[in-house]
Structure 1
């Protein structure tokens, strides 16, 4: 079984893709905050998706992410792909 993407790793990737040094928000609730509220735009999300795809060896269909608005939803879409 492949390694699962953790919320901590996702936030590191998002920060690096957005060119930020520190998280836009901290704490446990940020997993349920919308990307826009966290300060991440669609370009940062696209770059993060491509990076996760490369690092975890999964193909993430664009349509699977169409309604994804939070990091928690992103993990719910990506992690089942890493298991298969």
Structure 2
């Protein structure tokens, strides 16, 4: 698999496909540094999101990925770091 980049757009698409969106949250707004919990995504929705990222991008995410990276900006960076490690392996 060639190296891909995981973007905020990819994350938003996966969040919406897997868990939908809270009507009070605008995912098209400035959400990069907003905690997933504030965006309306609880642990079950995040588990589904993590599974979808793993399947689509062929990466293995550790169980603490969302607690260690509680915002979209941090998660996108963590997934891209994992993709980079895979490409250099």
Specify the structure having the higher radius of gyration (Cα).
Answer: 2
After superposition, give the CA deviation of every residue in 1:30-71 in whole Å (9 maximum; x if it has no partner). Answer: 011111111111111110111100100111111344322111
Does structure 2 retain, via aligned residues, the 8 Å contact 1:18–1:44?
yes
Number of matched residues? 83
Aligned 8 A contact 2:46 2:66 in 1: no
- Are the counterparts in 2 of residues 3 and 82 from structure 1 also a CA contact under 8 Å? yes
The alignment's C-alpha RMSD in Å is: 2.1
- Higher helix proportion: 1
Q: Which residue of 1 aligns with 2:44?
A: 43
Higher relative CO (Cα under 8 Å, sequence separation at least 6) belongs to 1
The verdict on how the C-alpha distance between 1:40 and 1:63 changes in structure 2, with shifts beyond 3 A counting, is closer
TM-score (norm 2): 0.79
User: Could you tell me whether the CA contact under 8 Å between 1:11 and 1:23 is conserved in 2?
Assistant: no
Structure 2, unaligned stretches of length 5 or more? none
Does the aligned pair in 1 maintain the 2:69–2:75 contact within 8 Å?
A: yes
Q: Tell me, which stretches of 5 or more residues in structure 1 are unaligned?
A: none
Structure 1 length as normaliser, TM-score? 0.83
Residue of structure 2 equivalent to 1:7? 8
